[in-house]
Structures are given as C-alpha cells and as structure tokens.
A and B are shown apart, each in its own frame.
Chain A
Amino acid sequence: MSELLAPTPSQTAGPFLHIGLLWDDGPDVVPEGTPGAIILTGRVFDGAGQPLADGLVETWQADPNGRFAHPDDPRGATDPPVPGFRGFGRCATDAEGRYTIRTVKPGPLPAPDGRTEAPHVNVSVFARGLLARVVTRLYFPDEGEANAADPVLTSIDDPAVRRTLIAGAEQGGYRFDIYLQGEKETAFFRV
C-alpha cells in the first residue's frame, strides 16, 4: 500500500460560480420528451428566510431500476433503461432561490447489510458562504413503506428532522425546499 496522501481542502464556489459550472443541459438528467419524466424543483433559503439567489444545486441518483452505470456498482455497470439518462443534474438557483431538475424517479437500492434503501436523490448545494458543499437527500412522499425501512432515514431519531428529507408531491413531479438554517433547517449529512 502506498503512502496516504492528505486530501486537498474544500473552498467556497463563491458568487461567480455560474461562469464556470453551468451547462446548457445541466438540469436535464434525462432529455426533454422522455416518457415518465418528472420535475424536481424547490427553493433554497438562508437563515434570514431570504432565497439563495446565487447558489448551485447538483443531484445524483440511480436509474429507475436502482442501478448505476458505474464500475463500482458491484452488480456490474449497466446501460440505463431510459435513453440519455445521465444520473447527474445541476441547476443554478434563480432570484427566488429556485432550482428545477428534469429526471426520472430512481428505483430502490440494495445495501450491503441486506436492507433496502428507499428511492432517493443525493442533493449538493454550492454557494458563496458555503466553504464546502452541503449534502442532503431527497426522498419521495409516495414511498411511505420503503422510507420507513430506509437505513439512512431510520438512523435519524427526530421525526421532524427526518421529515425535512421528504419531498412534497406536485403536479408533474416533486417539490423539495432546502433551508440552510433556522427552524426548518434541512437535515445535512457528513459524506
């Protein structure tokens, strides 16, 4: 085994991240016109209740079969069942703090301990004032049974904190607001 190297520290993406990190197709986890596509949208708020107008939201998720086109998925990388599925989305927040991602709902995932993770989307927020990204998870409101058995959700004791991770159902998709601070502060993770 080679010598361990210390990781490079994180720094804020700053207020001008848009010039470097935005892509025309950033919000398209699946291409426009994909059958069964859903919209994940929401607003990001700071501790004063003001919308975060200069942030970036990124999403990463499994495909509808709960698979990843990635060599470290030990079940073997597979081509996604949805043409053009990228698994990854990124969208800047607008003046209202709103981001919008077009995707398909992920499937449930097996965990090494034999349990099953409920369908979820990993969500990162980058912004001025965040010296490292903050990471949360979006779970789906129509997966009550799966959510009740999810190893990550069930590791959170406080039901009010757990609830911050459940999106709301909306016409055409789901709404997931993110509160960086305050009474409604979203649950964030150490990754």
Chain B
Amino acid sequence: MTSNPTSTRLTLPGYRRDHEDADPPLDSPEYRSTRLRAPKRPLILLPHLLTEVTGPLLGHERVGPTDHDLTRQHEGEPQGQRIIVHGRVLDGDGRPVPETLIEIWQANAGGRYRHANDNWPCPLDPNFTGVGRTMTDNDGRYEFVTIKPGAYPWKNHDNAWRPAHIHFSLFGRAFTQRLVTQMYFPDDPLFFQDPVLNSIPDPNARRRLISRFDHSRTRPEWALAFQFDIVLRGQLPTPVEEDHDDE
C-alpha cells in the first residue's frame, strides 16, 4: 500500500438523515420491551466518514437455489395461502439498489416461528422453515414465494396480537443504509392495537410498511401477490468539501 492516510485527499458521499422523521423513537414505552433496552442518553451525531459510507457487499454466495422460494425448501409444500412478495429496493433519490442481499424470516400460517423460544401452542409445519434470502437484480427488483404468515398472540399488553408480518433485513451499499424492518399486509384489523407498527409517529411512514395487494402479479390458480417497495437512505446532493487549502 502506497497511500499515507494523513496525506490522502478525500471526498466522501454523505447520506441524508431524513430517516429520522420516519423511524420510531427507541423510547416507545407502549412496546414494553423498550423500557429496559432503549438507551436513555441522547444519541451522539456520527459524521459520515469512511466506515459509514462503505458497507459489506455480500454476494450470491450467501444465497442458495431455493432460498427465495420458502414453499420449496422441504419434501412437501407448507400449509397456508401461497403468496408472491415482490418489489424494488430504491434509495431516497429513486435510484435502484442493485445486487444487495435481502434476508427475510416469518411465522408459519398459524403464526408460529420455527424457533426454540416460540411456545405459542400452534403446530410447527414440517414443510416450512420461514427463512428466505435473495439478491436484488440490476433494477433493484426482488421476489420471494412464501405463504402468508399468521397473526400470533404475545404478552405486551392484555390480549395483544401481532398483525401478520414478514421481517426484512437489508444491507444497501453503505453502513448508513443498513435496515431491519417488517412488512405488513393491507387492511389487517390488528393494526390498531399493535405498539410495534404504531411506534412510528407519522401515519404516512407507517403506511410505507404495509404492502399493496398486486393483482397483476398474482399467478392464476396458484398464488396471490403483494408488492413491497423498500426505500433506503439517499445521498446528500453535493459531497461536502471541508478543506480547500491545497487547491
């Protein structure tokens, strides 16, 4: 390596912080588990330096041939309503985010996760693991085939039920763009009492987590379809030059 870190001139992309208008506050006491876990001190502003504007570019080696089709990972097919979940991953400037890893996990049709700590008395499905992975294509598009997850009860408050949801994890192209979220289904009657979705103060931001029924992508006599587009943070229009003394 020939570069001397102190003599290299750098111009780095900066990322907008408008996600702060959308994200739920960490301190959201209606969601009981936040009470002992959400940090209490104000967060410290982290400038976007090299570690923040880069990120892991994980590739196809992380994705197996049936990872995008959760209905074909076992001998038989899982119970439940077969669905296609598709969409695009874009950045806040409307540019597609290509070749980025998406990981999903979800409960089975009865609302039970294949997880040692899930003891909700609903049977596991021997033909459903509930885990998927895929890479976006060059246009940022992705598609999963799965079954619609069930709602399930939890102990957050009296008679609490989580609306049906699929967990999504995305890397984007930079540390700043890392996102873990949940996709919901349209018109779920359980939304009103869910402190996780409702921890997002802005109703428009909440709506961005609700997928759209997409009749055009249903497969006749096979599967329903839902569209879920995901927007990762966009870049600031002009990279900041803080030091011009050698120009």
Q: Mark B214-236, 1 if CB is under 8 A from A, else 0.
A: 00000000000000001111100
Contact B200 A9, beta carbon cutoff 8 Å: yes
With A4-B93, A112-B241 known to touch, is A88 a contact of B6 (CB < 8 Å)? no
Instruction: Please give the distance in Å from B172's CB to the nearest CB on chain A.
Output: 11
Identify the closest chain B residue to A69 (Cβ): B57
Task: Tell whether, in the assembled complex, residue B51 and residue A13 are in contact, meaning their CB atoms are under 8 Å apart.
Answer: no
Contact of B93 among A5, A16, A65, A156 (CB under 8 A): A5
Cβ of A19 and Cβ of B33 under 8 Å apart? no
Bound Cα distance from A184 to B94, whole angstroms: 41
Taking a contact as CB atoms under 8 Å apart, the answer to whether A8 and B34 are in contact is: no
Q: Determine whether the beta carbon of A131 is less than 8 Å from that of B40.
A: no
One of B43, B62, B90 near A190 (C-beta < 8 A): B43
* Neighbour of B37 across the interface among A46, A151, A186, CB < 8 A: A46
Say if the beta carbon of A163 comes within 8 Å of chain B: no
Q: 8 Å CB contacts to A: which residues of B18-76? A: 18-26, 28, 31, 33-41, 43-47, 49-58, 62
Residues B24 and A11 in contact, CB atoms below 8 Å apart: yes
The answer to whether B200 and A16 have CB atoms under 8 Å apart is: no
* Count of CB-CB pairs between chains A and B under 8 Å: 274
Chain A residues near B237: list those with CB within 8 A.
1
Q: Number of contact residues on B: which range applies?
A: 35 or more
A52 interface residue per 8 A CB criterion? yes
List B residues at the A interface (Cβ < 8 Å).
1, 3, 5-8, 10-13, 16-26, 28, 31, 33-41, 43-47, 49-58, 62, 90-95, 103-105, 113-115, 117-118, 129-131, 167, 169, 173-176, 178-182, 196-197, 199-200, 204-206, 208-209, 230-234, 237, 240-243
13 A-B contact pairs sorted by A residue (CB < 8 Å): A9-B209, A11-B167, A11-B181, A11-B197, A47-B36, A60-B51, A72-B174, A74-B12, A112-B10, A122-B52, A131-B25, A135-B46, A190-B43
Where the two chains meet, the residues of A that have a C-beta atom closer than 8 Å to any C-beta of B are 1-21, 23, 46-48, 50, 52, 54, 58, 60-62, 65-70, 72-75, 78, 81, 86-88, 107-114, 116-117, 120, 122, 124, 126-135, 137, 151-152, 155-156, 161, 180-181, 185-191
